[in-house]
């Protein structure tokens, strides 16, 4: 049996014999052959999977070339077919910010918000609100939430019902002798 190399985009249909030369067949749709060969089957075209898009369609003489969709980065890059495996960019958690945005070749980099800053959505860190002179800090800020300020007059009124309820409960515990009239 003699081995004969056939042209790009074709494979051997019938080997040559002393009476006839090699007969070639073109690669069918969805297959390719990118170099001279003595093979009887073309290679299957690469499929651009999740997060990938074809930037060059498969032809009889070349494979599909894939690249990443926006929001993804390439985890495995092949010389001749582009990206073969993509992953979605990391989402930063609340309390973090995006330090470095992801690209088509790198993942996003997150970092924690520094003290005095917060992030509810994991995108940017925002400085805590500073309460004005006429306000009281009703709730401390955290890495995921802002400071809550309240009007000084409202803050006092909000504690009165709690104080009255507490005194009433204490009065009930001691025989019900404490009344609002005694306050």
> Per residue in 30-61, pLDDT tens?
999 888 878 888 999 999 999 999 999 999 99
Task: Kindly list the structural domains of the chain, giving each domain's residue range(s) and its CATH number in brackets, ordered by start.
Answer: 1-44 (2.10.50.10), 48-55+64-88 (no CATH), 91-127 (2.10.50.10), 131-141+148-183 (no CATH)
pTM of this prediction exceeds 0.95: no
Interacting residues of 165 by C-beta distance below 8 A, sequence separation 6+: none
> Per residue in 135-154, pLDDT tens?
999 999 999 999 999 987 65
109 bridge partner residues: 100
155 three-state secondary structure: helix
Closest CA to 73 of 59, 88, 63, 95: 88
Asked if 9 and 27 count as a contact pair (C-beta separation under 8 A), the reply is: yes
Residue 153 dihedral angles phi and psi, to the nearest 5°:
-70, -40
């Amino acid at each position: 049996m003699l081995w004969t190399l056939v042209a790009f985009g074709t494979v051997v249909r019938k080997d040559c014999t002393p009476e006839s030369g090699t007969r070639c067949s073109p690669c069918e749709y969805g297959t390719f052959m990118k170099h001279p060969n003595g093979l009887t089957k073309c290679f299957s075209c690469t499929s651009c999977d999740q997060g990938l898009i074809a930037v060059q369609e498969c032809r009889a003489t070349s494979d599909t070339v894939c690249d990443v969709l926006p929001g993804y980065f390439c985890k495995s890059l092949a010389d001749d077919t582009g990206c073969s495996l993509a992953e979605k960019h990391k989402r930063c958690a609340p309390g973090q910010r995006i330090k470095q945005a992801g690209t088509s070749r790198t993942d996003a980099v997150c970092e924690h918000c520094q003290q005095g800053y917060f992030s509810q959505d994991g995108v940017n860190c925002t400085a805590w609100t500073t309460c004005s002179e006429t306000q009281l800090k009703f709730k401390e800020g955290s890495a995921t939430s802002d400071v809550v300020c309240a009007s000084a007059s409202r803050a006092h009124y909000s504690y009165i019902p709690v104080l009255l309820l507490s005194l009433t409960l204490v009065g009930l515990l001691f025989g019900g002798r404490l009344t609002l009239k005694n306050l």
